[in-house]
Amino acid sequence: MNSISIYRNIFVSVLLGTLFVVAMMMAESQVAVLSLIVLAAVSCIVLQKKGVIRKLGSDFASAEKFANGTIMIGALATAVVFAGDHFILLMLTTVLIYVVACLGLNIQFGYAGMVNFAGAAFFGAGGYAAAVLTMQTGLPHLVVLVIGGLVAVIVGFLLILPVLRTRGHYAAVVTIAFSLLFRTLVEVSPVLGGAQGSPVTGMVIFGWNFNEGYQIAGFDVSFYINYFLFALILTAVTFTIVRRVERSWIGLNMDSIRIDETASACFGMNVARWKVTAFTIGNFFMGIIGAFYAMMLGFIAPNNFTFGDSLIMVSIILLGGIGSIWGIILATGIVIILPEKLQIIQEYRFLIFSLGVILVLLYRPNGLLSRAARTYFPGLLRGAR
């Protein structure tokens, strides 16, 4: 009986959320977009005040599989609604791409506490790997994706020594310097296409050509639906792995290192091993999704991987709430979609964005959805008590 009300609550809130996203995507006029934003903001504040959000949070936590499945269906339904619309599908896929990249960064920054201001560089390393491999070799594209991830990992290994040896501000300078270095390097390197960038082949997996649209019952389906679906799969896989990292001894080790390195070492922990692990897993995800991004755009240029993009990735994590997976997903949605829809702020997006991050850091340092305490096996907790 109680559990039925939990399922109902989850279903209703995911339904409302999906409807909101659909409405947001459909809204054309600035007035409509603005009203939707105000509506969302006001209802969030009201629900928060009434304690509904907290109740929903515990409902989602107690029926996690059902909740995740429902959200997945919601995402698919959204894609079906906009199956004919290039622009909207591209935007939604971009959100998913940033989610994967930020989840990777989250392992480094949110769990192990390693600052990485070169996220876009690792993302770009994967992208350039895809450019070279798809243009010059006939490797299957799934392999290209994996190599993209590996290239990011290898590039990361170049930094591993300074990253392990430095802390705090000094660690920040290593990654900031690398971010600027990478951008300049690809810009001046003739092999990688210089400032003009390089073309990338669209994705083909087992004969499934991502760059071809469909006609279903006389209805044109955008080819971006392929990319969206594949990105959704990648997101689900990344989500699962990051969750499992969090809910294992590995996540515990990383938390412990973030909070107190010295104490961790005093309890037998090999601090360097877990830092390397976090750095490697994170870069791998960023590289894979960078390769995917490049194949989707069909083109990459140094301007896609600036220091500013790295900053956006770090900010998404802070906005969402450090270490909070759903927080990151929410924050990515806001950061990517809002400026696209709100044309009046398009020009001012970076300005508003930086102002927003400053305000959140000042007044809500835990982000939008702060990370919940670790449960290794949700649902089991009650039994364990």
Between 43 and 343, CB nearer to other proteins = 343
Burial 184-197 (b: 16+ CB within 10 A, else e): eebbeeeebbeeeb
The total number of residues written for the chain in this structure: 385
Task: Check residue 339 for interaction with other proteins (CB under 8 A).
Answer: no
Is the CB of 22 or the CB of 372 nearer to other proteins? 372
Site string for other proteins, 254-293 (x = CB under 8 A): -xx--xx-xxxxxxxxx------x----------------
Of 156-175, binders to other proteins (CB under 8 A) are 159, 161-162, 165-170, 172-174
Name the residue nearer to other proteins (CB basis): 34 or 185: 185
**Applying CB under 8 A, does 363 fall inside the site for other proteins?**
no
* Contact between 344 and other proteins per CB under 8 A: no
Residues 182-241 that bind other proteins (CB under 8 A): 184-185, 188, 241
CB-nearer residue toward other proteins: 139 or 358: 358
Among 15, 90, 150, 252, binds other proteins (CB under 8 A): 252
Query: Is there binding between residue 294 and other proteins (CB under 8 A)?
Result: no
Pick from 69, 244, 303, 343: which binds other proteins (CB under 8 A)? 244
Q: Which is nearer to other proteins, 24 or 174 (CB)?
A: 174
- 180 contacts other proteins (rule: CB under 8 A): yes
**Residue pair 262/208 in contact by the 8 Å Cβ criterion:** no
Q: Please give the Cα distance from 41 to 49 (Å, whole number).
A: 12
Which of 84, 199, 308, 378 touches other proteins by CB under 8 A?
308
**Binds other proteins by CB under 8 A, chosen from 53, 61, 72, 177:** 177
Q: Which residues contact 63 (CB under 8 A, 6 or more apart)?
A: 3, 6, 7, 10
Shortest distance in whole angstroms from residue 172 CB to other proteins: 6
Identify whether the C-beta of residue 379 lies closer than 8 Å to the C-beta of residue 62. yes
Considering only 43, 347, 364, 379, the residue that binds other proteins (CB under 8 A) is 347
CB of 262 to other proteins, least distance (A): 6
The region of 26-34, 38-46, 201-209, 351-359 touching other proteins under the rule CB under 8 A is 351-359
303 binds other proteins (CB under 8 A): no
Tokens 């491999």 sit on residue: 133
Nearest by Cα to 342 from 37, 4, 9, 14: 37
Q: Minimum CB separation from other proteins for residue 83, in Å?
A: 34
Spacing of C-alpha 184 from chain mean position: 25
Is there binding between residue 115 and other proteins (CB under 8 A)? yes
Residue selected from 318, 325, 334, 336 as contacting other proteins according to rule CB under 8 A:
318
Residues in contact with other proteins by CB under 8 A are 115, 159, 161-162, 165-170, 172-174, 176-178, 180-181, 184-185, 188, 241, 244-245, 248-250, 252-253, 255-256, 259-260, 262-270, 277, 307-308, 311, 314-315, 318, 347-348, 350-351, 353-355, 357-358, 361-362, 365, 373-377, 381, 384-385
